[in-house]
Chain A
Amino acid sequence: MGLMEKFFGLSWGIHPKDHKRPAADAVTRIMPAPERLYVSLAQHLGAPALPSVLVGQRVKKGDLLANPQGSVSAAIHAPTSGVVAAIGEIPAPHPSGLPVLAVTLAADGLDEWSEALEATPDPFALAPDEISRRVAAAGVVGMGGATFPSALKLASSRKAGVTTLIMNGGECEPYLSCDDRLMRDEADAIIDGIRLMLYATGASAAIVGIENNKPEAIAAMQAAAQAYSEVSVRSIPARYPMGSEKQLVQTLTGKEIPAGSLPAEVGVVVHNVGTAKAVRAAARYGQPLVSRLLTVNGGAVKHPGNIVVPIGALVEDVLAFAGGFSATPGRLVMGGPMMGMSLPHARVPVVKGSSGILALAGAELADREEGACIRCGSCVRACPMGLLPLEMARHIQGDDLKGAVKLGLKDCIACGCCAYVCQSHIPLVQYFAYAKGTLAAEDRAKLHADATKKLALARGERLAQEAREKAEVAARRKAEREAAKLAEAAAKTATAATVKTVETEGAPA
């Protein structure tokens, strides 16, 4: 930190202790499929996938288990060969542990790949849309944790005319090193994947941004990218949340993404480096996303490191494979310590977006009772979005959610910088999550109420219409009846007249 920065605090974000080593330097391990895998059907942003297998069905590694459903969704594949044991609910990898629908697979131990994979020697010979299609078929989602279906992002970038592909190698979350490890181990594959993504999106250049606390990864990626002028690898300052889309784009391109817009608004799209590898596997070898590299770390872990884990493996299996605990953990977290989710227990499955499993020891947590805000302004300085966390929290405490929205609640990215620096240990992120959730529920309730109102109005109108029609029909009938009566009467007089005539003129013929 410079002197000016020190005296005047001219910066966003925080510099947390990164705890990345020694886990980042440990050799990558590969975890074999455990006996049972619990493959969640809702492990991407959007609608859950629809199962396409039956219980008892035999599948091979890479076979389709579930189809995407709706416009934003992703396919799910078998992480190993075996038999579908059940399709039902399991606890979700979420603090609530609420149930989620999953396909339970009993592994046969052979780990045989499916024969149906579409490999291609030269994916650059395919049409760009064909690459997106293959990526969709492989169920690839954003590997940084947001898990947005990648194929949709590739196709929409092409439509939006994106010119620059930003590759996120920031990995600013403390403790996590899976992207670092991947870039060190498989730089060539990542660069190949980036080139495929450039081809699929039609962007002309790719910039890989890597935080300067990962010199090995920067060196490996620069060496791998040397042959390709369209891919540049840049070292960026290590600062949390550098890996956040808006901050990364601004750091690398100087462009500011307008509030409420996608990066495409400024001609860029952001993908994680891990996604590039998955895109390559899908486009070149037709391999679906069935495993991922994740970091097992934390003060309570005996042998921290990075492990290739099949999707659907239980956290307890991964921890057992990693070598177990050295101490009783105070908290289990999926993801990083800043934005990750606490786990209710270890019997939840790894999903496509799991970048890490942390077993944090008590000393790392700094759990304290919430104190009074002393308005020190640390949160204001730390907020990478330029918000006033203390003011927003004050409004939320007073149940003035609209006031919080006015202060920019909807611009909050929940990065946790404010709560990290808070001297009074106020759980600011929790306040904001509560407010956002309540507002979303209110919006839904309002939609519901509006729909109900509409229906009620329509019913009223319909009833009125019916009444009107009934009245009309009744009136018509009455008119008809009267007309008929008149006609009858007329007919009667006519008959009478006829009879008279007949009487007077003699018998009819």
Chain B
Amino acid sequence: MSAADYTDYQAARAFASPHAHGGGEVRRTMFLVLTALVPATLFGFWLYGWPAFFLWLMTLISVLLFEFMSLRLMGQKNAGRALGDGSALLTGWLLAMTLPPWSPWWVGVLGAFIAIVIGKQVFGGLGQNVFNPAMVARVALLISFPLQLTAWVTPLPLTPLTAPGFIESLHITLGQTPVPDAITSASLLGYAKTELSRGIELAQALTTSHAPQLSWLGARAGSLGESSALLILAGGIFLLITGVIRGYAPLGVLAGALIPAFIAHSIAPESYLDARSHLLSGALMLGAFFIATDYVTSPTTGAGQLVFGLGVGLMTWIIRTLGGYPEGVAFAILLMNALTPIIDRVIKPRILGRTWSGRPIVSADAGKEA
């Protein structure tokens, strides 16, 4: 090349350092989380059949539409590109995983609206929401439509009934065919709550033949993507290894729920469920690895995340054990979301060369020679 090149070079503007970048992208992070959700989701489809798939699809399409409309309304020019960051898709996907798999279509659409418009965009969009949008939607739906939101179906591959076909499933999702009572079933948490309220001791209640069974693989009645503890754990480990999430919050959630469960069960097994049942039931695993680790609504420091997680776990156990609802992960998450700004205010890293209170440290050598 000729020397003219050097004289020709003219910077377009002054660039701020650093001039290199690590290559991390929001889009890549979201994609990794979605990837981690795939095994548990596919298992959910297999377990609960076509209706589960339709509900999932409905929810995802709806979040994308609501996100696009919101961005447009707010005057964002390249709303299509902002959509590509995958954050709305993740919200919708997580919401779908917490819904009863045979819910009618409008549950998904309404949930998507609550999550995206009320839970996220009203606060100012990506990164601004105080509460986890998927959990806001989950809780709003549960309170508004308790019947539809607790219609758990028995996993079909394990029943003598043949699974509904493609067209039949469409009818279920469209709400034209009510879910037959014969294939609905209580979740273990709900069953235990009901039996306890009837004055039947747990030991007795859980040994009867119609007591719901739990397993690590997750063939149980439950939400679309919450049942398989093993596959969710696999997704969580994948996220830990890829560095998308850190271990503090999941550790906190599990410890916060299981330690009190273990202690209570040891003291009074007749009225408290054991730790394993708590671990394999409801949304505890999904909450620990995928919801409590949400960047936007959880603290930024490791210690803060641990406190946050412990709070979520403990609240979950308290709500499950003492509250009116059999399941409490979503409520616990929202309660701790509200505390996140305070946790972040109180728990900060120590600045190098300063004490925790922010004053310069006093060096051991000071005053030795001046």
A binds B: yes
Which A residues form the contact surface with B (CB < 8 A)? 6-9, 14, 16, 95-96, 160-161, 174, 246-247, 250, 255-261, 265-267, 302, 315-316, 319-320, 324-326, 328-329, 331-333, 337-347, 358, 360, 364-366, 368, 371-378, 380, 383-388, 390-391, 408, 411, 414, 416, 419-425, 427, 429-430, 433
15 further A-B pairs in the complex, CB-CB below 8 A; given A246-B352, A375-B295? A6-B243, A8-B248, A160-B369, A256-B363, A258-B362, A324-B3, A337-B20, A342-B11, A342-B15, A343-B11, A346-B6, A372-B125, A374-B29, A375-B296, A424-B127
Partner among A319, A331, A372 whose Cβ is within 8 Å of the Cβ of B19: A331
Q: Is B368 part of the binding interface, using a Cβ–Cβ cutoff of 8 Å?
A: yes
Q: A371-B26, A372-B125 are in contact. Are A385 and B14 (CB under 8 A)?
A: no
Q: Are A373's CB and B127's CB within 8 A?
A: yes
B351 within 8 A of A: yes
Residues B21 and A365 in contact, CB atoms below 8 Å apart? yes
Q: How far is the CA of A247 from the CA of B353 in the complex (A)?
A: 10
13 pairs across A/B with beta carbons < 8 Å?
Answer: A258-B353, A258-B354, A258-B366, A265-B363, A316-B7, A326-B1, A346-B6, A376-B29, A419-B21, A420-B22, A424-B127, A425-B21, A429-B18
Does B20 contact A257, Cβ atoms closer than 8 Å? no
Give Cα A325–Cα B352 distance, bound, in whole angstroms.
Answer: 42
Alpha-carbon separation in the docked complex, A268 to B15 (Å): 35
CB distance from B58 to the nearest CB of A (A): 26
Name the residue of chain A whose CB is nearest to the CB of B302.
A8
Question: Whole-angstrom distance between the alpha carbons of A427 and B85 in the complex?
Answer: 19
Asked if residues A332 and B360 are in contact (CB atoms below 8 Å), the reply is no
Query: With a CB–CB cut-off of 8 A, which chain B residues contact A161?
Result: 368-370
Q: How far is the CA of A266 from the CA of B296 in the complex (A)?
A: 40
**A324 to B126 Cα, complex, angstroms:** 45
The 6 A-B residue pairs with the shortest CB-CB distance in the complex, in nearest-first order: A161-B369, A416-B18, A95-B14, A316-B6, A366-B21, A259-B353
CB atoms of A372 and B365 under 8 A apart: no
Q: Which residues on the A side are within 8 Å of B11 (C-beta)? A: 95, 331-332, 342-345
Q: Which residues of A contact B348 (CB under 8 A)?
A: 388
Distance to closest chain A CB from B364 (angstroms) = 8
User: Whole-angstrom distance from the CB of B127 to the nearest CB of chain A?
Assistant: 4
Any A CB within 8 A of the CB of B159: no
| Inter-subunit contact B14/A96 (CB<8 Å) | yes
Contact present for B16 and A430 (CB under 8 Å)? yes
Residues of B within 8 A of A422 (CB): 21, 24
B300 touches A377 (CB 8 A): yes
* A261 CB contact (under 8 Å) in B243, B363, B370: B363
| Interface residue count on the B side (C-beta < 8 Å) | 60
User: In B112-145, which residues have CB < 8 Å from any A CB?
Assistant: 125-128
B window 66-83: CB within 8 A of A: none
- Please report which residues of chain B, range 22-38, place their CB below 8 angstroms from some CB of chain A when the two chains form the complex: 22-26, 28-29
- Is B302 a contact of A9 with CB atoms below 8 Å? yes
Chain A residue with Cβ nearest B126: A372
Query: Would you give the shortest CB distance from A338 to chain B, in whole angstroms?
Result: 4
- Min CB distance A327 to B, Å, is 9
**CB <8 Å contact, A319 and B6:** yes
Indicate if B301 sits at the interface (CB-CB under 8 A): yes
Q: Is the CB of A384 within 8 A of B127?
A: no
User: In the complex the two chains form, is B15's CB within 8 Å of A95's CB?
Assistant: yes
Point out the residue from B20, B246, B369 that lies within 8 Å of A9, measured CB to CB.
Answer: B246
A267 to B370 Cα, complex, angstroms = 10
User: Do B349 and A386 touch (CB < 8 A)?
Assistant: yes
Q: Give residues in B with beta carbon < 8 Å to A.
A: 1-3, 5-7, 9-11, 14-26, 28-29, 85, 87, 125-128, 240-241, 243, 246-248, 295-296, 300-302, 344, 348-354, 358, 360-366, 368-370
Residue of A nearest to B344 (CB): A391
- B20 pairs with A380, CB closer than 8 A: no
Q: Are A345 and B24 in contact (CB under 8 A)?
A: no
Contacts of A315 in B (CB 8 A): 6
B26: A residues at CB distance < 8 A: 371, 374, 423-424
A241–B6 Cα distance when bound, in Å, is 31
Q: Would you call A331 and B15 a contact (CB within 8 A)? A: yes
* Interface contact B127-A375, CB-CB below 8 Å: yes
Question: Which residue of chain A lies nearest to B6 when distances are taken between CB atoms in the complex?
Answer: A316
A257/B365 contact (C-beta < 8 A), A9-B302, A316-B7, A421-B24 known: no
Q: Which A-chain residue is minimally distant from B28 (CB atoms)?
A: A423
Known contacts A372-B127, A374-B295, A423-B29; A387/B369 CB under 8 A: no
Min Cβ gap A84→B in Å is 25
Give the CA-CA distance A365 to B11 in the complex, in Å.
14
Q: Which residues of chain B are within 8 angstroms of A360 by Cβ–Cβ distance?
A: 19
CA distance A259 to B359 in the complex (A): 8
B363 touches A387 (CB 8 A): no
Task: Give chain A residues whose Cβ lies under 8 Å from the Cβ of B295.
Answer: 374-377
Cα of A326 to Cα of B1 in the assembled complex, Å: 7
Q: A425's closest neighbor in chain B, by CB?
A: B21
A40 to chain B, nearest CB (A): 19
| Cross-chain contact B18 with A259 (CB below 8 angstroms) | no
**Interface hub of A265, A368, A427 (most chain B Cβ within 10 A):** A265
Write out the residue numbers on chain A whose beta carbons fall within 8 Å of the beta carbon of B352.
246-247, 250, 256, 259, 384-386, 411
B6 touches A380 (CB 8 A): no
A315 to B10 alpha-carbon distance, docked (Å): 13
B22 touches A265 (CB 8 A): no
| Contacting pair A266 B300 (CB below 8 A) | no
Contact A419 B368 (CB under 8 A): no
Query: In the complex the two chains form, is A386's CB within 8 Å of B351's CB?
Result: yes
Please judge, given known A-B contacts A7-B240, A8-B246, A372-B125, whether A338 and B17 are in contact too, CB under 8 Å: yes
B360 close to A337 (CB less than 8 A): no
Least CB distance, A366 to chain B, in whole angstroms = 4
Tell me, in angstroms, the Cα distance from A455 to B365 when the chains sit together. Answer: 43
- Neighbour of B6 across the interface among A267, A320, A326, A368, CB < 8 A: A320
Nearest B residue to A327 via CB reads B1
Of the listed residues B11, B248, B302, the one surrounded by the most CB atoms of chain A closer than 10 A to its CB is B11
- For A383, what are the chain B residues with a Cβ–Cβ distance below 8 Å? 349
Given A257-B363, A261-B363, A266-B363: A366 and B20 interface contact (C-beta under 8 Å): yes
Q: Are A256 and B5 in contact (CB under 8 A)?
A: no
> Is the Cβ of B17 less than 8 Å from the Cβ of A423?
no
Determine the chain A residues whose CB is within 8 A of the CB of B19 once the complex forms.
331, 333, 337-338, 340, 342, 358, 360, 365
A259 to B192, CA, bound (A): 57
Q: Do A266 and B127 form a contact, CB below 8 Å, given A320-B6, A331-B11, A374-B87?
A: no
Which A residues are in CB contact (< 8 Å) with B246? 7-9
Contact in complex: B85, A380 (CB < 8 Å): no
The complex places the Cα of A348 from the Cα of B260 at a distance, in Å, of 68
Residues of A within 8 A of B9 (CB): 328-329, 332, 345-346
> In the assembly, what is the distance between CA of A324 and CA of B6, in Å?
8
A391 to B20, CA, bound (A): 22
* A416 contacts across to B, CB distance below 8 A: 17-18
Partner of B349, one of A259, A260, A341, A387: A387
A346-B9, A376-B295 known; A388+B300 contact, CB < 8 A: yes
Residues of B with C-beta under 8 A to A391? 300, 344
**Given A338-B20, A341-B17, A345-B11: A265 touches B296 (CB 8 Å cut-off):** no
* In the bound complex, CA of A430 to CA of B13 (Å): 14
B347 vs chain A, min Cβ distance (A):
11
Interchain CB contact under 8 A, B5 and A6: no
| CB atoms of A325 and B5 under 8 A apart | yes
Q: Which residues of A contact B10 (CB under 8 A)?
A: 344-345
